[in-house]
Amino acid sequence: SQTIHQWPATLVQPVGSPLSLECTVEGTSNPNLYWYRQAAGRGLQLLFYSVGIGQISSEVPQNLSASRPQDRQFILSSKKLLLSDSGFYLCAGSLGGRNTEAFFGQGTRLTVV
């Protein structure tokens, strides 16, 4: 079965500092990969998705960027964090094809102070 490994579980960063969250996939190859953010009262907001190495689609203009340097690696970055970047970040994957579900990592709680 497919597994998403995501780290760290919690992170406290000062405003203006850089960010790098990494996600790796185990148990499958060529997955579609996604970064979501869960902010209080706002559900799961899609930030980025990727259907292959080097291919990134951005859903929300913001202070963040994503990269996919390898098939099973997805990275979320920021050069300078804002207070509004605080939230619960989730990496997810799916196998493509119709009628498939997405599988999620355990998430990273980011607090920008």
Partner 1 sequence: DQQVKQNSPSLSVQEGRISILNCDYTNSMFDYFLWYKKYPAEGPTFLISISSIKDKNEDGRFTVFLNKSAKHLSLHIVPSQPGDSAVYFCAARYPSGNTPLVFGKGTRLSVIA
- The yes or no reply on residue 97 touching partner 1 (CB under 8 A) is yes
The answer to whether the CB of 55 falls within 8 A of the CB of 68 is yes
Which range touches partner 1 (CB under 8 A), out of 12-20, 46-54, 60-68, 71-79? 46-54
Q: Which stretch binds partner 1 (CB under 8 A): 11-19, 40-48, 64-72, 75-83?
A: 40-48
Both tokens of 26, joined, read: 């185990």
Question: Looking at beta carbons only, is 18 or 27 nearer to partner 1?
Answer: 27
- Contact between 74 and partner 1 by CB under 8 A: the answer reads no
Number of H helices, E strands in the chain: 0, 11
Q: Using the rule CB under 8 A, which residue among 36, 74, 75, 78 binds partner 1?
A: 36
SS3 content of the chain, % helix, strand, coil (to 5): 5, 55, 40
